[in-house]
Amino acid sequence: MRQLGNRISDLLADRATIFDINISHVERVWPILVTADMTQLEPLHDLIAAELPDSYADRRVQSLLVCDPELLMGIVEGGASLIGMLDRRQQGPFAKLELKRWVFEDHGSPGERRPGYALERWERVTAAVRDVLQLQE
């Protein structure tokens, strides 16, 4: 948690940079925890907020986003605005829940979509496994 808080603070104080990003133009920062199917996030959010009050004191810092990056990339590949999507999720009751919950349960979400590259790779890998194991489709 300290590492997350330190990086947020470093970015906002201009002690750290992200290539080609001027932090003075940044309106919102979404800390992201990459995972797949993590549950019971509310206590984690509460713990982070309690442990990192200085990092979350800046109005630009939004609640932690816990997500499977493949789901996030697929939604954006499908045409959804990343900032618009994160903003809508942040404003509602799903702000402290895994992104997947918002995608599946909120009628205002853009819906599930997996990125094309992941689907293509999955097809190639499963075809190779079928060939090696000599399985019929």
d(CA 38, CA 35): 7
Show pLDDT as tens, one digit a residue, over the chain (137 residues): 778 888 888 888 888 888 888 888 888 888 877 776 666 677 877 888 788 888 788 888 888 887 878 888 888 888 888 888 888 888 888 888 888 888 888 888 888 887 787 788 888 888 888 888 887 76
Contacts of 36 (CB under 8 A, 6+ apart): 68
> Residue 95's pLDDT is what?
82
Residue 125 exposed, middle or buried by CB count within 10 Å (0-12, 13-18, 19+)? exposed
> Residue 19's pLDDT is what?
83
> Residue 97's pLDDT is what?
81
Q: What angle do CA 27, 111, 39 make, to 5 degrees?
A: 80
Contact 90, 62 (CB under 8 A): yes
Q: Where are the alpha helices (DSSP H) in the chain?
A: 2-12, 41-51, 53-57, 69-77, 82-91, 99-105, 116-133
Q: For residue 102, report the phi and psi dihedrals to the nearest 5 degrees.
A: -65, -45
Q: Domain ranges for the chain, please list them.
A: 2-133
> Residue 54's pLDDT is what?
81
Residues paired with residue 61 on neighbouring β-strands, in sequence order:
29
